[in-house]
Amino acid sequence: MTFIMVDIEADGPIPGDYSMVSFGAVIVEPGLNRTFYGQLKPISERWIPQALAVSGHSREETLTFDEPAIVMQRFADWLKREVKGRPHFIADNNGFDWSFINWYFHHFLGDNPFGYSSTNLGSLYKGVVRDMFQNFKHLRKTAHDHHPVNDARGNAEALLTLARQYGLKLP
């Protein structure tokens, strides 16, 4: 099993009614050099300007992005090529990020290579430090700028630091 840190940007709160604009993935390993980035054309006429603004893209720009089925196939191919065994999805906000990735994989490819589960980095951190009021974000080195590869990399840095500091064994 290999941890894949994922971050997504979307133009609304739920998949299907709204669109995933872009996503990034980083294989959690020293160096954090193996990454994936995808930008996806909207699947819906619905979008919330404030939500889209977080991504830094305009609606007109997103309309020029690649077809979602193509991007999801590229991502599935990348996972097959880069990961030995089953990939494990981990994210800062896995409830949000996983819901979009899961929906897009099932809708466009009929299967999600991550299966039906994911891990929340914030919850993992709270458990390791044994304090429900702590936050891992001070462990990031890469600035959180809403580019999904940068955000996934920063979260992966935090996980690697957490593993080193607490002797956690990562797959």
- Dist. CA 57–CA 26, nearest whole Å: 22
One of 88, 107, 144, 146 is an active-site residue; which one? Answer: 146
Q: Tell me the residue type at 79.
A: L
Residue tagged 């994210």 (tokens): 91
Q: How far is CA 46 from CA 14, 22, 71, 118, 122, in A?
A: 11, 16, 20, 27, 30
Phi, psi of 8 (to 5 degrees): -125, 155
Indicate the burial class of 111 (C-beta count within 10 angstroms; 0-12, 13-18, 19 or more): exposed
Q: Is 144 annotated as catalytic?
A: no
Contact 121, 155 (CB under 8 A): yes
**Nearest of 28, 109, 111, 27 to residue 68 by alpha carbon:** 109
Contact 118, 90 (CB under 8 A): yes
Residues acting as catalytic residues: 146
